[in-house]
Amino acid sequence: MIVGKKSGKIIATSIVNGKCHDFRLFKESKTHIHPKILAETDTGYLGLTKLHANSLLPIKRRKKMKLTKEEKAFNRKVSSDRVLNEHVIGFIKRFKIVSERYRNRRKRFGLRFNLICGICNFDR
């Protein structure tokens, strides 16, 4: 899910059958982000800088080494910028389509998910 930073609206969605990592789904969906747009993601998208140079990722803790105060402050800033994305994801999870097992026809999952995203955009 791609969320606009200023508007808080869902811009693009992509779904796949079964379990799939978010970054793999992003690569397979061939979603193109304009080079001037800053992509703020979580640590699950570690290889994004190779695909999109203008991206902002938190710093992961290295093996047996703690983060410095500057790195923690940077991570805090990145996460405070991403709060809007997390609120949108939480809003969609209230409908239980993503947070629980989907037990209806798989063909209609994409349609229903996009309808819920439309409700979320209408609410904002």
Q: What is the mean pLDDT of residues 96-116?
A: 84
Give the torsion through C-alpha atoms of 107, 45, 55, 75, to 10 deg: 130
User: Residue 77: its pLDDT value, please?
Assistant: 92
pLDDT > 90? residue 72: yes
Which regions of the chain does DSSP assign to beta strands (E)? Answer: 2-3, 10-12, 39-40, 55-56
Q: What is the mean pLDDT of residues 14-40?
A: 84
Q: What is the pLDDT of residue 70?
A: 95
How many angstroms separate the CA atoms of 4 and 121, rounded?
11
Residues 6 or more apart whose CB falls under 8 angstroms from that of 17 comprise: 106
pLDDT above 80 (res 10):
yes
Tokens of 5: 């930073």
Distance CA 8, CA 5 (A): 6
Rounded to two decimals, the pTM is 0.76
